[in-house]
């Protein structure tokens, strides 16, 4: 039986986290769930502790999304999981699509599967115009770096096999992990596949990237992507358990 861990990074998601975990439980009891509370200032962690069949890690300091997700990868590797799924704690991902995103990994068609909002020409949820333009730019830049076309480099809905779990437990980017990790994985020989997924609008809370922050975010991400692309291929000794 394939052991799968759902990694849910959460920062101030008290308004969403119980529904997110309930949605996962409603669609499968075969997945283990790990919520990584990134030193929330609300009662996210206290709420998670009341949920049955859900493990939690409470980080003592805020590490950001990169550090929170990498904590999940380290947990998955140390506990011998075969697959892991990154699943955001803000309620935008559909647990009904978990098996679809895992299937190419389980069938050894890919090392990493990204759930894309943009493979479907008529998605049920559209991000802002500025965000879509930024994602298009990331698509072009990442193609130049990896020679692979990825339509949704910022998607946080992803599945990984054991090899990718091990690699990212040691090398996951910290600053802008989603677009950076596409370049890192592509340049280190990992097979990346996209499948079309639908995403929901956030029900509670707000994104930290909005308004005038968007062009600033884009500039910093592009700089980080280029720096990642300049790195040599990472040589690591396989430690798969």
For the ranges 101-105, 138-142, 187-191, which has the lowest average pLDDT? 138-142
131 and 207 in contact (C-beta within 8 Å)?
Answer: no
Q: Is 226's pLDDT higher than 80?
A: no
Q: How far apart are CA 64 and CA 61, in angstroms?
A: 9
pLDDT at site 42: 97
Task: Say what the pLDDT of residue 3 is.
Answer: 97
Tokens of 179: 């677009």
Distance of alpha carbon 140 from alpha carbon 212, whole angstroms = 22
Q: What is the dihedral of CA 13, 17, 19, 22, to 10 degrees?
A: 170
Nearest one of 185, 100, 106 to 147, comparing CA atoms:
185
**Nearest of 77, 81, 79, 88 to residue 35 by alpha carbon:** 88
Spatial separation of the C-alpha atoms in residues 30 and 89, rounded to whole Å: 19
Confidence of residue 54 (pLDDT cuts 50, 70, 90): very high
pLDDT grade for 65, boundaries at 50, 70 and 90:
very high
Domains of the chain: 4-229 (3.90.550.10)
* pLDDT band of 186, cuts 50, 70, 90: very high
pLDDT at residue number 32 = 97
Read off the pLDDT of residues 28-50 as tens digits, 9 standing for 90 and up. Answer: 889 999 999 999 999 999 999 99
Number of Cβ within 10 Å of residue 234's Cβ equals 12
Number of H helices, E strands in the chain: 8, 7
Q: Give the residue-averaged pLDDT of 162-181.
A: 93
What pTM was estimated for this model as a whole?
Answer: 0.86
């Amino acid at each position: 039986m394939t052991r799968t861990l759902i990694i849910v990074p959460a920062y101030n998601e008290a308004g969403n986290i119980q529904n997110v975990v309930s949605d996962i439980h409603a669609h499968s009891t075969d997945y283990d769930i790990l919520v990584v509370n990134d030193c929330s200032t609300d009662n996210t962690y206290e709420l998670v502790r009341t949920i049955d069949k859900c493990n939690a890690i409470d980080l003592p300091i805020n590490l950001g999304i990169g550090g929170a997700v990498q904590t999940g990868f380290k947990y998955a590797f140390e506990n011998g999981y075969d697959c892991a799924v990154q699943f955001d704690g803000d309620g935008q991902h559909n647990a009904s699509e978990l098996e679809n995103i895992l299937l190419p990994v389980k069938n050894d068609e890919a090392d990493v599967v990204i759930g894309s909002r943009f493979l479907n020409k008529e998605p049920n949820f559209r991000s802002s115009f500025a965000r879509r333009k930024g994602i298009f730019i990331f698509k072009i830049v990442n193609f130049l770096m990896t020679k692979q076309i990825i339509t949704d480099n910022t998607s946080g809905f992803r599945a990984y096999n054991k090899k990718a779990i091990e690699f990212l437990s040691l090398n996951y980017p910290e600053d802008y992990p989603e677009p950076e990790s596409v370049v890192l994985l592509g340049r280190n020989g990992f097979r990346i596949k996209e499948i079309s997924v639908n995403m929901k609008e956030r029900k509670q809370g707000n994104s930290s990237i909005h308004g005038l922050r968007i062009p600033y975010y884009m500039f910093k991400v592009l700089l980080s992507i280029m720096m990642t692309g300049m790195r040599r291929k990472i040589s690591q000794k396989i430690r798969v358990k």
